[in-house]
Amino acid sequence: MILAFDTELFIQRLVDGLSKGSIYALLALALVVVFRGSGQLNFAQGEMALVTTYIGSTLTLAGWPVWLTVLACAVTGFVMGGAVERFLIRPMEAKSPFAVVVVAIGLFLGFNSISAAVWGVDARDFPSLFPNQPDDFFNLLGANVRWERVGIFFVLLGIGALLYLLFTRTKIGLAMRAVANTHESAQLVGIRVGRVLVFGWGLAAAIGAVAGCLIAPSAGLSLSMMFGLFIYGSAAATLGGLDSPLGAVVAGLALGLLDSMIIGYVDIIGGDLLLTVILGLILLVLLVKPSGLFGSTRVERV
Amino acid sequence: MAALPLNLKQGSAVHRAIQAVVVLALVLFALRAATTWNRSGLSLLTDALIIAIAVTGLNLLVGFTGQISIGHSAFFGIGAYTTAILVDTYGWSPGWTFFPSVAVCFVVGVVVGLPALRLKGIYLALVTLALAVAFPSLLNRYESVTGGAEGIKGLRYLPPSWTGLEGRSDLAVWFFWLALGLLLITSLMARNLLRSRVGRSMIATRDNETAAEVMGVNIALVKTGVFGVSAAMAGLAGSVFALKLTLVDPTLFTLILSIELLVGMVIGGAALLWGPIVGSLVLVYGRDLAKSIGEDNNIDGLGGIMFGVLLIVLMFAAPQGLVGLWRRLRIKVVRILPKPPVSAAPPPTPSVDSHEPALVAAPADPDQ
Amino acid sequence: MRRTRWMAVALAGALVLAACGDDDDEGSGSDTTAAATTAAPDTTAGGADTTAAPDTTSAPDTTEAPDTAAFEVDTEACEDPDAATAPIEGDIKVGTSLPLSGGPAVLFAPYADGFKAFWEAYNAQGGVGGTQKVDYTIKDDQYTANLTKTAVDEMIDEGVQVFTGIIGSPNNAAVRDDLNALCYPQMFASTGANAWGDIESYPWTSGLLVPYSVESAAFHDFALTQKPEGGTAAIFYVNNEFGQAYVKSFKKVAEEEGLIEIVAEEKIDAADSGAPTAQMTNLVAADPDFILAIPLGAQCIAFMKELGNARAANAEFTPVVYQTATCANPIFFGGAGAGADGVFTSSNLLPEVYSTPNPASPGPKAYADALRAVKGDANPTNTAAAAGYLAAEFTAHVLEEAQKSDTGITRASVINAMRNINFQSSLTQPGYPAIMNAEDGFIGEVTQITQWSAAESIFKPVGDIISFEGETLYTD
């Protein structure tokens, strides 16, 4: 227990929380894009990002600069996401929502195992897009803020803003919303449903790929890198409202802050009970607001 | 000979004869397995049967009532730990622990079902996710009760003397019959539940909740009640699991298990009565096969790739599950016409044999 | 509804039947061994006992045939005493169950490679006594106890006669009862738990690695050499069986000696793959003299990177940091960059094994060659591979001793030979043979503190070898 309130420590924890939250928010954004664009959840999102990050690792080992690698990963992710939607998810969707879930689970397992088969089960290093040496930080009101974390935060804001513009200002964004609602109505209005779906999944996978490249430098690239984070991302997406990019960002950052504050100030809840407590809090919020903080409530027509 | 499909009246002599043959075949198979199979083969089959008990419960909740749960690993684990704690700390005789296990899980299930009254879809999934994640973490924490991360070891459940089985060497056989028996009873209970008014309420809730409510279904009771029953079944399975393995520890009851149960349900066929059994068999044997493939060669992860591919292929081949596929093929050959209802309603038309699960918008008939 | 009621009654009746007539009087099976510090996968470095033994060339061992007076297993208690004493001729079937896939595989897949490597080379040289080869089976249990049971059951049905090197505490526990009742040797359980020393209740089971209690005690003693007056310590650990076992042992030793005070405990969930920034902030705030870190797998890298960040940002934060031996792996330490520099860990292997991929001395060289023969791109400095090799090497020695006994190789003679072992492995520090006898059920009580040098990318031994031989540090 802290007797005197240590402001510096508090700010440090704030900074820690925002940096953790940025990652959660990025993953949440990817899930929101998929949901908003197709009404589905991509359960294999984390593992797809894992594969693209491993591909990135190979590229960087071959000498590619990091920024180019991240770009390449994003493109690869886009193609993968689109292909998965077109060839594996869409045929199933018409037949049974359960089948979609199992296909996603199969993909989850498959992608993780492919990573094991091609790159082995070891953990490895991954270079960072931003300066990443131990002394690459600056001081802010007594807290030490790492450039890498700041970079990730701004990437998050950038992607969040772009998505917001996409959804509200562009035709394709509107089309995505229509498609997510009902395919038939969208088709009637002349929307090429197939293209929109592919785009949605591809975009989400691209975001996931970028997230993977940002996570790997500090977490270490290994087969288990994405699973826990994916759960956090899902929790954040749900808390924020599954169809709201703003919600994803806010919720993701909030979860990161909660993490940091709980570990810092609530001794009884250790790092191991963190997810439990967080999910419990989210549950309470949902009971009050069943579609999440910023989600749109669906009106049920009788 | 009449042209295909052959129409049989439900309850007719021919129908009963076919059913009797099927039952006889299954009984003979079970006897053969119990007497001639080796330990590991029988043990693997028993594992599948245990999982099937849990999946039966899950199926009632997800398949027939339209709720979501990725938290059944916790119910499974609560059952397992209830048994373990009673046997280890309080010296209970293992067989008696099934009762409290089922009761505890029922209560917890009902409590977990309460948020379901307010949340739907992914949001409900999150609640159950929380349960699945919390359970192992809490087990790790509360060591004095649960043995913490080490778990509880040394649970022994020797066959009772009336079975005529001898102690340790017949353990595999004992657990086989135990699991089989409990599975049969659980499945029959599920079937009867579905045929009853409660069952129809469940299906109505799944198909159109608002309409069901308008028609007088007590949604709250149905949802929480089915959550409870579903959890109780998973708990029963967990108890048997714990006794068969002789130990429990937190790593056995994680989110992964919940996902496996869901996969088992879908592979077999959600909302189909015998789906859980078929699905569990495929799950357990598929996983075993994938592991063997992985063991036999140098490529890491090959087993996982095969199993992932298997799941995807299965879904493409049988999106309604294997039992659903079987049904669709069988209907082309033999159709069972249900008896007309006792009330004064007009007799149904012959094309009433609609066994598709509700996802295709026809009411599911739990009859097979 | 009536039918449902009948069904419920039937179910209740069935359950009652199942409950009645239970003739299990053995006190509902509470675990008879002191399982206090059973731990998770400690399979790699820091583990095995380090007796210097001749390597894979089947040079005759210098010890004589086992002294059967020292320990002899009671085969009358077996379900099938004849099977336990039947001679094993021809190829000896040895089996193990390891996590080849699934989460923990990242740590243990190399163990399987090392295990395989030894047997391949050993068989190429003729096998046991030059006359009997070893037919080894490796099955995958994904570190899940019920799959271990399945694997062992299958292997029993496939005719495996000797089990060795199974990884994981719950995994070994799941099969221990059966194997002891059926009288199959369950040798060299690869986990650092203390529970494997219970000779009385489980005569057919033994451990291999340095128990976690030894590692904790070793670090404690080492810490006192750095600061004889004692100081404050913080612990960062993964909250599962593995982490908890270390923590318990360390706390016990610290309490007994009274010189080191634990001021902070930070936990991390096993599935948490993110950087432990928040925990590190807490550790910095606590400003301890020593940090004991017990992360799992890739968390080792993340932790050390955070450590590096914290040290760079806080000039006064200069703790002595110790990482669990399961992380002691150049891939993890190298991957962590500057953060890993100066971090301590331990190992009981010869320095050459963990410091260079191309060792020169005969034992390590034979190991490196054998490993590359089964997997070309394998890294011999990965101590998990060495642990697997070690488990196999020990097993081979035991088989050789059993072969020399009056009865030749039988399941019973194998266990007798194991219990009377006195063996110096080719990969461990000379002068500290692995010894067990009728009283001492522990095989690995020796270790060496090492320190990572980021500049040179190797572990360097520090100080003297620490030995707790004979002092069974049974924490309960």
pLDDT of residue C133: 92
Contact check, Cβ <8 Å, B245/C174: yes
Q: Which of residues 101-130 of A touch C (CB under 8 A)?
A: 113, 116, 120-125
Contact check, Cβ <8 Å, A116/B137: no
Q: Which of residues 226-265 of B touch C (CB under 8 A)?
A: 241, 245-247, 249-252
Contact check, Cβ <8 Å, B308/A108: yes
Of C65, C38, C89, nearest in space to C244 by CA: C38
Among A54, A96, A278, the residue to mutate for chain B (most B Cβ within 10 A):
A96
Contact check, Cβ <8 Å, A113/B319: no
Q: What is the mean pLDDT of each run of 10 residues along chain A (302 residues)?
A: 68 90 95 87 92 95 92 96 92 86 92 89 85 81 85 93 89 82 72 86 95 91 90 92 90 94 85 85 87 73 54
Contact check, Cβ <8 Å, B168/C31: no
Closest CB to B137 among A95, A116, A272? A272
CB C52 within 8 A of CB C430: yes
Q: Is residue B350 pLDDT above 70, yes or no?
A: no
Task: Count the neighbouring beta carbons within 10 Å of the beta carbon of residue A184.
Answer: 9
Q: Which residue of B has its CA nearest to C1?
A: B196
Q: Which of residues 141-160 of B touch A (CB under 8 A)?
A: 141
Q: Is residue B349 pLDDT above 70, yes or no?
A: no
What is the span of the domain harbouring residue A271?
7-288
Give dist(CA C468, CA C442) in Å, integer.
Answer: 10
Contact check, Cβ <8 Å, A117/B141: no
What is the total count of domains within chain A? Answer: 1
Q: Is residue B339 pLDDT above 80, yes or no?
A: no
Distances (CA, A) of C149 to B120, B246, C154, C414: 39, 10, 8, 22
Q: Which of residues 233-262 of B touch A (CB under 8 A)?
A: 255, 259, 262
On whether any CB of chain C is under 8 Å from the CB of B154, the answer is yes
CA of A212 vs chain C CAs: smallest distance (Å): 11
Q: Which of residues 229-248 of A touch C (CB under 8 A)?
A: 229, 231
Question: Model ipTM?
Answer: 0.89
**B116-173 confidence digits (pLDDT tens):** 888 878 888 888 999 999 999 889 888 888 888 888 888 888 888 777 777 666 888 8
Give dist(CA B57, CA B236) in Å, integer.
Answer: 10
Chain B: touching chains (3 or more CB pairs < 8 Å):
A, C
Give dist(CA C23, CA B161) in Å, integer.
Answer: 7
DSSP 8-state secondary structure symbol assigned to residue B216: T
Among C272, C332, C379, the residue to mutate for chain A (most A Cβ within 10 A):
C272
Map out the domains of chain C as residue ranges: 12-42+54-210+353-444, 213-347+449-467
Distances (CA, A) of B38 to B172, B244, C153: 9, 16, 9
DSSP C331-398: HHHHHTGGGGTT-EEEE-B-HHHHH-SS--SHHHHHHHHHHHHH-TT--TT-HHHHHHHHHHHHHHHH
Using CB atoms within 10 Å of the CB of residue C440, give its burial: 0 to 12 exposed, 13 to 18 middle, 19+ buried: middle
Q: How many CB pairs (< 8 A) connect B and C?
A: 181
Contact check, Cβ <8 Å, B301/A272: no
Number of Cα atoms under 13 Å in the Cβ half of residue B224: 12
Contact check, Cβ <8 Å, C273/A225: yes
Local confidence pLDDT in tens for the 476 residues of chain C: 455 555 656 566 666 665 554 433 333 333 333 322 333 333 333 333 333 333 333 333 333 344 444 567 777 878 788 888 888 888 999 999 998 877 677 678 889 999 999 999 999 998 888 889 999 999 988 888 989 999 999 999 899 999 999 988 888 988 988 898 889 999 888 876 666 667 778 888 887 766 677 788 888 888 988 888 889 999 999 887 778 888 888 998 888 888 889 999 999 988 888 889 999 999 999 999 999 999 988 899 999 999 999 998 888 899 999 998 888 888 889 888 888 999 999 888 888 888 788 888 999 999 999 999 988 888 888 888 888 998 999 999 999 999 988 888 898 899 888 888 888 888 888 877 777 766 565 666 678 889 999 888 888 888 888 877 656 554 44
Query: Do C12-42+54-210+353-444 and C213-347+449-467 agree at the fold level?
Result: yes
Structure tokens at B277: 């059994």
Q: Is residue B72 pLDDT above 70, yes or no?
A: yes
pLDDT of residue C32: 31
Q: Which residue of A has its CA nearest to C336?
A: A125
CA of C63 vs chain A CAs: smallest distance (Å): 39
Contact check, Cβ <8 Å, C24/B39: no
CA of B42 vs chain C CAs: smallest distance (Å): 10
Q: Mean pLDDT for chain B?
A: 85
Of C56, C159, C147, nearest in space to C98 by CA: C147
Given the DSSP bridges, would you call strands C446-453 and C344-347 parallel, antiparallel or unpaired? antiparallel
Closest CB to A117 among B118, B129, B301? B301
Closest CB to C279 among A221, A227, A271? A271
Which CATH code fits C213-347+449-467?
3.40.50.2300
Q: Is residue B368 pLDDT above 50, yes or no?
A: no
Closest CB to C27 among B91, B158, B300? B91
pLDDT of residue C442: 60
Contact check, Cβ <8 Å, C170/B151: yes
On whether any CB of chain A is under 8 Å from the CB of C375, the answer is no
Determine phi and psi for C266, rounding to 5 degrees.
-115, 135
Map out the domains of chain B as residue ranges: 1-36, 40-254
Cβ contacts of A273 on chain C, cutoff 8 Å: 269
On whether any CB of chain A is under 8 Å from the CB of C309, the answer is yes
Of C31, C179, C176, nearest in space to C476 by CA: C31
On whether any CB of chain C is under 8 Å from the CB of A11, the answer is no
Cβ contacts of C337 on chain A, cutoff 8 Å: 125, 133-134
pLDDT of residue C7: 60
Q: Which of residues 195-214 of A touch C (CB under 8 A)?
A: none
pLDDT of residue B361: 37
Cβ contacts of B304 on chain C, cutoff 8 Å: 101
Closest CB to A279 among B130, B302, B319? B130
Q: Place B211 in a pLDDT band, splitting at 50, 70 and 90.
A: confident
Angle subtended at Cα B185 by Cα B179 and Cα B191, rounded to the nearest 5 degrees: 130
On whether any CB of chain C is under 8 Å from the CB of B198, the answer is yes
CA of B290 vs chain A CAs: smallest distance (Å): 12
Give dist(CA C394, CA C425) in Å, integer.
Answer: 7
Cβ contacts of C269 on chain A, cutoff 8 Å: 228, 271-275
Q: Which residue of B has its CA nearest to A243?
A: B122
Percent pLDDT > 70 in chain B is: 90
Give dist(CA B131, CA B122) in Å, integer.
Answer: 14
Specify whether domain C12-42+54-210+353-444 bears CATH 3.40.50.2300: yes
Q: For residue A43, what is the domain's CATH number?
A: 1.10.3470
Among C11, C175, C247, the residue to mutate for chain B (most B Cβ within 10 A):
C11
